[in-house]
Amino acid sequence: MKRTAFFILIFSTVVWLSCSAQLSQEKNRFTHADSLRGSVTKERAWWDVLYYGIQIRPDYNKKFISGSTEIKFKVLMPGSVMQIDLQQPFEIKEVLWNNHSLNYTRDGNVFLINFPTQLVSGKTESINIHYDGYPQIAKRPPWDNGWIFKQDKLGRPWLTVTCQGLGASSWYPCKDYLGDEPDDGASLSITVPDTLVAVGNGRLKEKKNNGDGNTTYTWAVVNPINTYNIIPYIGKYVSWHEEYEGEKGKLDCDYWVLDYNLDKAKIEFKAVDSMLKCFEYWFGPYPFYEDGYKLVEAPHLGMEHQSAVAYGNGFKKGYAGKDLSETGWGLKWDFIIVHESGHEWFGNNITCKDIADEWIHEGFTCYSETIFTGYYFGKEAGDDYNIGQRKLIENKKPIISTYGVNNGPDDTDEYYKASSMIHTIRQIINNDSLFRQILRGLNKTFYHQTVTTEQIEHYISAQSKINFSKVFDQYLRTTKIPILEYKQNGFALSYRWTNCIKDFNMPLKIQFKGNRWIKPSAKFHNLSLYPEGDNHFSIDRNFYVRANTGF
């Protein structure tokens, strides 16, 4: 007993030291700048963004940006020091409040704006920030971010921005935090040479010829919007307009492409109707009828910019001509139209508060590909597609990362593993009408809101009347894939869960003397059936689990 206790003590000490070292390494990975960007600092907590009014003038030749941002905000509690995010090497030139110039100091990528007095709780205030600088240039967009200064194939300027990971503060001053979207929307005024066209989110409010060889285009959205979704597109664009008869009436659909791609775009973009039909059926009405739907050709593969989806897939099927699932189904439809538009429901309508929960954006949207495939080519095709994507899962670290810092996932598990988890949950619910009701309910309940993982978990469990807490913990918070350890002896089957969190209780559909459900646990269970007919054992392929016969 003493020897056993001694070894337990030694083992516990080693484990504790190992865990402490890991936690210390995790903590040390994050910088002061990460905390400023990813947390609700006291300089952020006292005010709520209501509206952004952004004005920019990009200089293509110098690769230089000058502009201003008006920020309307509500004072939630008395405060006098405001955190504004604007990344180096941009510089603030002046901050105006009620026609007074405010003092400010810089802390890396953050400016601390000092008001002369504490602002009064409940009031609506406004500041205007003038800035300029040479922005970060994207080297491999959209996988790395920044401004994109390219030329189209005729040698004409073609500009835009990608900033989902880098942050909107890489090109305009803002509260660069997912949990605070502008409640009353945003406007974007873009001044460009008369020879070019500028496109932004939402609806075109004004096109003004400035009489100096430049034109200013002003676009606006009235709905809340992620800061990284506000994006300018500048090029030799032409457009056309269509209307989609949707669940909430006529949806304005506008398409902007380079002039020489007009004919092929009019053919390929017919797929938008198919996408809207499927996603409105499964997810509910398009979330931004007031701002319309827009697809804009971009000099990169694509991004989910709200009401102005970036498209760069070359007007062909698949993912740049490839099928990520390697099943053949992914070559039946245009990946960018389907995936990036799916984000209008998951990511843009329902937005995570903290980047650590970004699986809410990417996991559900990745699963929208399975939904789309199944809707048009049959459920088996959708199953094939989802299962085919599993080879892309890495399982190097948990999907959910550290909260309160600028620490988004740096692998693809928030896409493919989260999608496999959702597919597994769908099997357990075992009722596609209810599953559809849950997806639609998510978009209705959390309409235009920022959320946490816990809110999504609780909603799915409550609506399905199945406690999925252990399933979410297993797939989101560990790298362990559940293993069904089993042994078959003729017509008898012994089985249990291994490689699982404590009290993992996920039911499983198997084939053994026909289709049936079992409820494994960490203890062995036995199933014995009358020896009649086929006694071959297999696990339903739609569950993201593994099997092991080695006990």
Q: What is the mean pLDDT of residues 81-88?
A: 97
Which pLDDT score, from 0 to 100, does residue 489 have? 82
Which pLDDT score, from 0 to 100, does residue 205 have? 98
Count other C-beta atoms under 10 Å from residue 437's C-beta. 14
Q: What is the mean pLDDT of residues 81-86?
A: 98
Could you check whether the bond before residue 89 is cis, i.e. omega within 30 degrees of 0?
yes
Q: What is the mean pLDDT of residues 199-216?
A: 98
Q: d(Cα 486, Cα 548) in Å, to the nearest integer?
A: 6
- Residue 321 one-letter amino acid: G
462 φ, ψ to 5°? -65, -45
**Class of the CATH domain delimited by 483-548:** mainly beta
Residue 7 — very low, low, confident or very high, per pLDDT cuts 50/70/90? very low
Q: What is the mean pLDDT of residues 516-544?
A: 87
510 with 540: CB under 8 angstroms?
A: yes
Residue 550 — very low, low, confident or very high, per pLDDT cuts 50/70/90? low
Q: What is the mean pLDDT of residues 240-267?
A: 98
The owner of tokens 């990036």 is: 340
pTM for this entry: 0.93
Which pLDDT score, from 0 to 100, does residue 469 have? 98
Which pLDDT score, from 0 to 100, does residue 9 have? 32
Residues 6+ away with beta carbon under 8 Å from 282: 368, 371, 375, 436, 439, 440
Indicate the range of 5-9, 267-271, 274-278 predicted with least confidence.
5-9
- Listed by start position, the domains of the chain span 41-178, 340-477, 483-548
> Which superfamily does CATH assign the domain made up of 41-178 to?
tricorn interacting facor f3 domain (2.60.40.1730)
Nearest-10 Cα torsion for 422, 475, 346, 452: 130
Q: d(Cα 406, Cα 145) in Å, to the nearest integer?
A: 15
Length of the chain: 551
Q: What is the mean pLDDT of residues 409-422?
A: 92
- Return mean pLDDT, the chain: 93
Which pLDDT score, from 0 to 100, does residue 530 have? 67
Decide: helix, strand or coil at residue 12.
Answer: helix
pLDDT digits (tens, 9 = 90+) for 131-180: 999 999 999 998 889 999 999 999 999 999 999 989 999 999 999 999 99
Instruction: Check whether 83 has a pLDDT greater than 80.
Output: yes
The owner of tokens 């989902």 is: 164
Which pLDDT score, from 0 to 100, does residue 17 have? 35
pLDDT digits (tens, 9 = 90+) for 484-503: 999 988 778 899 999 999 99
Residue 524 — very low, low, confident or very high, per pLDDT cuts 50/70/90? very high
Q: What is the mean pLDDT of residues 233-242?
A: 98
Instruction: Check whether 12 has a pLDDT greater than 70.
Output: no
Which residues on neighbouring strands pair with residue 131, listed in sequence order? 67, 92
pLDDT digits (tens, 9 = 90+) for 338-375: 999 999 999 999 999 999 999 999 999 999 999 999 99
Instruction: Check whether 6 has a pLDDT greater than 80.
Output: no
Instruction: Check whether 442 has a pLDDT greater than 80.
Output: yes
Q: d(Cα 42, Cα 227) in Å, to the nearest integer?
A: 20
Burial 486-525 (b: 16+ CB within 10 A, else e): bbeeeeebebbbebbeeebebebbbebbeeeebebeeeee
Q: What is the mean pLDDT of residues 115-121?
A: 97
- Residue 290 one-letter amino acid: E
Q: d(Cα 373, Cα 31) in Å, to the nearest integer?
A: 42
The owner of tokens 């892309």 is: 392
Indicate the range of 5-9, 111-115, 420-424, 525-529 predicted with least confidence.
5-9
Q: Please give the share of the chain, as a percent, with pLDDT higher than 90.
A: 86
Q: d(Cα 56, Cα 172) in Å, to the nearest integer?
A: 9
Which pLDDT score, from 0 to 100, does residue 532 have? 60
Evaluate whether 340-477 and 483-548 have a shared fold.
Answer: no
The owner of tokens 């990946």 is: 335
Q: d(Cα 348, Cα 225) in Å, to the nearest integer?
A: 7
Instruction: Check whether 3 has a pLDDT greater than 70.
Output: no
Q: Which has more pLDDT, 71 or 410?
A: 71
* CATH architecture designation of domain 340-477: Orthogonal Bundle (1.10)
Tokens of 425: 């949950």
Question: At CA 250, angle to CA 248 and CA 254, rounded to 5?
Answer: 125
Nearest-10 Cα torsion for 27, 28, 29, 35: 70
